[in-house]
Amino acid sequence: MLNFLIRSVSMGLITALIVLLAMPSLRQSIITQPLNEQPQTGTSVQLSFNQAVRKAAPAVVNIYSRQYSEDDRQALLVQGLGSGVIVSNKGYIITNYHVIANADQIIVALQDGRAAAAQLVGTDQRTDIAILRVEGESLPVIPLNPEYSPKVGDVVMAIGNPYNLGQTTTFGIISATGRSSISADGIQAFIQTDAAINKGNSGGALVNSNGELVGINTASFQQTKEVESYGISFAIPIKLAQQVMEKIIADGRVIRGYIGINGQDIGSRTARLEQAGGIIVLSVDPTGPADKAGIQAQDIITSIAGRKLDGRQAVFDLVTNLRPGTNIDVKLLRNGQELTLPIVVGEDPNE
């Protein structure tokens, strides 16, 4: 037995020597390695998103909405609980409309212990967005990346104040994008995630693995559909939230363009037109700008204001961002012929 062990060790040493002689690069790496360097352990490759959370978390605030008591108009009672995100060094905060709806006073609490009454800049009930503003020095601002586009499978974290337990971070992935079925108008597209979003998380931040703001947490499937489910929550994409914020700051409210059509994406029955892109007009508002311009049901709209269309969502996004009174050209196909019709954009009557 002893002779066997000696032979095995000797063969191992001889093999190692041959390898070192044949591959000088290995000799160099061994010689240059510091003698006091500790061997790597399992903790050296531990996966952590601590840096991302540390970048984003200070800018996520707790929001407490208060309402006067019906019995005592001098007494303010806590009405609602939610979260918000500081997105500008001017103190602008994005949160959900339902967090501050009907509030007589809004209190914002920062993670560094500061608290202040917030000014309500404006709201947009359709997108469930409210914009607040607080005064303060050296306010933390969440990182923003205009180039980021959410993709299914991206790691995300939801940061907020669930059940007033204190700031909490939950972890998950983006499960889907472009979810419009839960929106009131069936058009607004949400980000779906399996990161837990509970009461108090509304208005908080959904961030990526770099700590950059991806969306504003707004609802869970349970709240929306009133059924028991797990791992299905929703957030408003930050690009949409920023567009709403800019309009509210500029005009005090969201003014949306409107042409008065309802359409659907090009399907298999018009597959020959898929490369052109566009939507099929299903109906036209008889009092809207499109009807006045001569657009008819079954027309296939291929471009608006010189921009090609990828589908119904693209039409909605493009038109709502146009200012009422803007003159645009709409290109369409009717009975195989291409037409260009001028339209004066109106204001959405649903606002």
d(CA 102, CA 105): 9
Question: Helix or strand or coil: residue 17?
Answer: helix
* Options 98, 233, 303, 348, the catalytic residue: 98
Question: Is 217:224 a contact under the CB 8 Å cutoff?
Answer: no
* Options 83, 175, 202, 220, the catalytic residue: 202
d(CA 104, CA 65): 7
SS3 content of the chain, % helix, strand, coil (to 5): 25, 35, 40
Radius of gyration of the chain (CA): 28
Q: Where are the beta strands (DSSP E) in 142-266?
A: 155-160, 168-179, 190-193, 205-208, 213-220, 233-237, 257-258, 261-265
Residue 128 falls in the annotated catalytic set? yes
Question: Is 174:151 a contact under the CB 8 Å cutoff?
Answer: yes
d(CA 178, CA 187): 9
Closest CA to 177 of 148, 145, 146, 198: 148
Q: Kindly compute the dihedral angle of the four CA atoms of residues 225, 230, 231, 233, in this order, to the nearest 10 degrees.
A: 20
Residue 154 falls in the annotated catalytic set? no
Task: Give me the residue label for tokens 């907020």.
Answer: 160
d(CA 161, CA 34): 47
Alpha-helical runs (H) found in the chain: 2-22, 24-32, 50-56, 97-100, 221-225, 238-251, 289-293, 312-320
Supply the DSSP symbol for 283: E
Whether the CA torsion 269, 273, 277, 279 is positive or negative: it is negative
* Options 65, 83, 124, 128, the catalytic residue: 128
Question: Is 299:282 a contact under the CB 8 Å cutoff?
Answer: no
Active site residues: 98, 128, 202
